[in-house]
Amino acid sequence: PPERHPGWNHSLFAGSFPKACPQLQEIPNMPPISQDEDCLYLNIWTPESATNYRGGAPVVLFLEGEGFVSGSVARFPGQDMAVEGVIVVSASYRLNVFGFFCLEDSEARGNLGLLDQYFALIWVRENIEMFGGDPRSVTLMGHSAGAASVMYHVTSPRTQVIFVKVIVMSGTVTSPWSGAQHPANSSRGIARSLGCLASSSNLILSCLRTKSTEEILRAFETQYKNGNWTDMVLPVVDTFLSESEQYLPRDPKQVLQSGNYVTIPVLTGTTSHEGAVTVYQRGDLLRQSYLQLRHFFENTAIPEVMEHYGLRKAPQIREILKWQYPDKARDGVATALLAKLLEFYTDAQFSAPHMTQLAFLSRSPEPIFVYKFQQSGAPDLYGNTLNISGSAHGSEFLYLFGPTLMLKTAGRRFTPDEDRFSKRLKRYWVDFIREGNPNPPGAYSYGLSWRRATPEDYNCNLLRSEQQQQQLQGCELTEDVASLWNDLLPRLQQLTITQPPQQIDATSQNPRLSSDSSQPFRSAMYTLIGFVAVLLVMLIVCLVLLKKNAKERERDLF
């Protein structure tokens, strides 16, 4: 576990970013990331007025990362947001094996990456006042795996009062990639691949310490590239520890569902084309023919995601997913099929989990504000090699941390329309960080009014520039998609789990059954037929709704 830094008694010159924590090269053709195990650092940007800010400046602590596998806060310069009057802090944390290796005991407890983040929160609470910040006004903001991390901290009993607001961007604890299902199995598998075959945790850890960083990452890469996310090293519910050491004593989804956590204001949302990041991670897809893409879609993408959701590889479920996604692409056109693959990953990995988490959050007594970022033609953090018309995973940061990040990533300055949009977007975020409400004080609203989400209406706001606001489009939260992934498919899964009746000679044990021993089975059969009929009706209704919305949703792709 992390430990407190002993401090220093000399001037610390912090003019450059430290190295990132050890990780894989996630996105092909991206510049390599400078890495080192000595990576647990904070970065702080303060406005010039911070030290004179009456009562202390509001603070935002930012967490990022992709799938708890990779990430580098050096990608996100915070000075342009700090200019708006808030102190911006970003924190690194250990990733993959180094942050989440877990043998489900006190020796290899897991969740080290989350504990790194927790120590960053403690450091901010104890020291940010020296930078002009208010330790009683800390907002925790996260993106992707960082957003899932934020929700882990929200549901942990250890973090009460350390932060008072959260911003959750493009990530959830209800995502299939956000938590470990078999942490000890996956961790032992990595250890075995490195020749660490001992049974005791102490001996396994001693063996791993003799391996280089590169060897450990290669062993993890073998497991990761196999695509079996049910055997990944990720955050874990740690009830195997003593109560005083537990960080996640309950499943976060159950905590959110029960409402048994300290509720605070939340700003949350997604971009329109989140699944682009998954397509980017498989860079060879961009060069494949239609037939190659079709084979990947049906034989790799769909089975992998079904496994993430805990769905059996039943033919019925696979056929529904084929009908909903690849079958609707124009036959023989690779770009159309790639658009459907992007939609598939967006729905399964981001939109549906976001809707599940939003359903829990909307019952909170504290204000919840929801957005969808849809800046058509926006660059992204990965070079926009897909050339999509919508907003990919992370596109909003080019405007939140711009113009510096736009120039650094896309190599260009804002257009006048983008400049106005960037200023407006930063004001929404800064007003929330300051007041817990993205609506600015007074009557001026930047042309947009934010209303609180309720269970009946999430009141989603579509975020786009002034020029693009002229295009008629609502803030659709794809409730039909959420119904498909969160309700219909799990129900169909239950129908596939059947057990044959035991072969028992009932008549010999009870002569009263000999006259009509088939009656109980006949009744059960009629009941099952009725149940299947009801589910089929539900399936038809869902498919009609999905087909109704398909053309509208397809219009936003490419």
Q: Which residues are catalytic?
A: 144, 274
Q: Which of 461, 454, 464 is nearest to 477 (CA)?
A: 461
**Cα–Cα distance measured from residue 304 to residue 298, given in angstroms and rounded to the nearest whole number:** 10
On whether the CB atoms of residues 47 and 86 are closer than 8 A, the answer is yes
Q: Which helix (H) or strand (E) holds 124?
A: helix 112-127
In order of 68, 506, 508, the CA distances from 511 in angstroms are 62, 8, 6
Give the DSSP per-residue string, 293-317.
Answer: HHHHIIIIIHHHHHHHTT----HHH
Strand order in the sheet with 133-143: 42-45, 87-91, 57-63, 133-143, 165-169, 266-271, 368-373, 461-463
Residue 371 gets which letter from DSSP? E
**Cα–Cα distance measured from residue 491 to residue 471, given in angstroms and rounded to the nearest whole number:** 38
On whether the CB atoms of residues 404 and 77 are closer than 8 A, the answer is yes
**Cα–Cα distance measured from residue 136 to residue 162, given in angstroms and rounded to the nearest whole number:** 8
Q: Name residue, tokens 């992007």.
A: 342
**Cα–Cα distance measured from residue 311 to residue 305, given in angstroms and rounded to the nearest whole number:** 9
Beta 42-45 vs 87-91: how paired, if at all? antiparallel
φ, ψ of residue 379 to 5 degrees: the values are: -65, 170
**Cα–Cα distance measured from residue 348 to residue 306, given in angstroms and rounded to the nearest whole number:** 9
Query: Positive or negative CA dihedral for 136, 142, 148, 149?
Result: negative
Give the DSSP per-residue string, 419-445.
Answer: HHHHHHHHHHHHHHHHHS-SSPSSS--
Specify the amino acid at residue 238. Answer: D
